[in-house]
Amino acid sequence: MRRKMKGRISRIGSYAIASSIRDHHQHQQPCITCTTFNILAPIYKRLSNEDQSCRESDYRDYWLARNQRILDWLLCERSSIICLQEFWVGNEELVNIYEKRLGDAGYLHFKLGRTNNRGDGLLTAVHKDHFRIINYKQLLFNDCGDRVAQLLHVELVAPFSQCRNGDVQQELLIVNTHLLFPHDSSLCIVRLHQVYKILQHVESYQKEYNLNPIPIILCGDWNGSKRGHVYKFLRSQGFVSSYDTAHQYTDADAHKWVSHRNHRGNICGVDFIWLLNPNKYRKLLKTSWSEAVFGMFKYLLRRASLTESDAFAFLKVDNDADYITYSGFCEALQQCDPPCVILQLNLTGHCHGLIVEETKDLWVQADIDGNGVVDYKEFKQRIWNPTSSDQRDETGNEVREGVAKGNQEQTIGFSVKNAVLFPPEVEKGRWPENYSLSDHARLTVVFSPIRMPCSQLS
């Protein structure tokens, strides 16, 4: 009886969320909603702590019932955009169930399996009442994690016509992805690579189709928290975490909420819906990338208890010199066993490390005056303290010089009206023991189209 009551309470909570979200559609200005959810593929869901080989995929009744409940709740919310990760693309019956129920509910849907037949992948669905599909692209990382991403280019349709900017189509780019889990520190560079490839792909797409600045929404399981390098990298590009924006959390509020209990039993916030509005002043992507890699480099050095001067000496390699050479820089980046045993950089020279061209790009960024060596001043400016002097408002969002002002061209962006995590306990930083739908929480964000001036890349 107690278990049934808990299940009933969970359903009531979910329906209350859906009702609250629908209120934004019906009683306020036109809104779109976006849901991201890692639904835990049955091939990964363990049914026994004692027997690690016992997976839900072996028991049809189990995975079928759980996924039917997932679909019930998704269709109850009726989000404009649905982004799922760990979708079991390898099971035809389950794929057909999702496609039929989503299709019957008015969704246009796209699935993409991970490379090398890993069994799971992504599913992105958009409601045809809210969007017209302009284009769909797939991004295969072809890395050690066999990860992928989806890019949808869509146009807003009624009831958003009142927000249109004259006769110009009001468009949006949507990305769905699932980054590699950081099993050890050597994979941190892989995860940064994955985000870099996504942003490169988006940038290339915008240039190929000569797009004016339009909103970009990145959804998914990022497998990293607000303390991580991926988070800082995306923030440096002007993206904001929609959930944190809705709740006025700063970048330092990493402990306020969680969204995942991982296979190690740790709870953390890893599921994000990122928003980049067209009025954001953006750094050059390569600059942000270099700063992110140098930030990781500094983190590894400091974790090894190296001070600023110690780190400079480590990079010099030649103790008699008062500068860093390119050869010494490369040697340090691929160092696996320096005198300080706990320091393992290993950022180059293996199948998922930095390639030669990327290492050269980093060197160019560090060698400010271009004289072929990096002195102590350049080391401090570009390697030890690589981030720019960003200002932030009261919600932690970046405020940069150069944001479009005055009579510049107007476009449509989005304001964040609301954001909800389910189950509700995770919003307080707790993981409920009675939650069995997934090992991730479901995140839904309500966006409202607003007029704003557009900006260009820096």
CA distance 354 to 346: 9
**Model pLDDT, residue 313:** 86
> Would you say 345 and 299 are in contact if contact means Cβ atoms under 8 Å apart?
no
**CATH architecture of the domain with residue range 2-283+399-453:** 4-Layer Sandwich (3.60)
Chain-centroid distance, C-alpha 78: 22
Fold (CATH) for 289-384: Recoverin; domain 1 (1.10.238)
CA distance 387 to 368: 15
CA atoms lying within 13 Å on the CB side of residue 326: 13
Q: Are strands 324-325 and 81-87 parallel, antiparallel or unpaired?
A: unpaired
> Would you say 234 and 220 are in contact if contact means Cβ atoms under 8 Å apart?
no
Residues in the chain: 458
Beta strand extents in 45-127 (DSSP E only): 81-87, 107-113, 121-127
**Model pLDDT, residue 188:** 80
Radius of gyration for the alpha carbons in the chain, expressed in angstroms and rounded: 23
Please name every residue paired with 451 in a beta bridge, in sequence order, or none if there are none. 412
CA distance 29 to 160: 9
* pLDDT tens over the chain, length 458 residues: 444 434 443 444 444 455 555 554 444 568 999 999 999 999 999 887 666 678 999 999 999 999 999 999 999 999 999 999 999 999 999 999 999 999 999 999 999 999 999 999 999 999 999 999 999 999 999 888 899 999 999 999 866 655 555 555 689 999 999 999 886 666 788 889 899 999 999 999 999 999 989 999 999 999 998 988 899 999 999 999 999 999 999 988 888 999 999 877 889 999 999 999 998 877 888 888 888 888 888 888 888 888 888 888 888 867 678 899 988 888 877 764 444 333 445 565 445 667 788 888 888 889 999 999 999 999 998 888 876 544 333 333 443 433 444 446 778 899 999 999 999 999 999 999 999 999 999 999 999 998 888 765 44
Name the nearest CA neighbour of 84 among 116, 109, 59, 106: 109
Residues of the chain with CATH 1.10.238: 289-384
Give the CA dihedral 362, 363, 365, 366, nearest 10 degrees. Answer: 120
> Would you say 135 and 173 are in contact if contact means Cβ atoms under 8 Å apart?
no
Distances (CA, A) of 140 to 37, 157, 194, 204: 20, 30, 10, 15
Name the nearest CA neighbour of 324 among 332, 311, 315: 315
**Residue written as token pair 């942000």:** 288
Letter string b/e over residues 224-253, b meaning 16 or more CB atoms within 10 A of that residue's CB: bbbebbbbbbbbbbbbbbbbbbbbebebee
**Residue written as token pair 């590699």:** 180
Contact residues for 141 (Cβ-Cβ < 8 A; gap 6+): 115, 147, 148, 149, 193, 194, 197
Residues of the chain with CATH 3.60.10.10: 2-283+399-453
CA distance 30 to 162: 9
> Would you say 89 and 150 are in contact if contact means Cβ atoms under 8 Å apart?
no
Residue 22: other Cβ atoms inside 10 A: 16
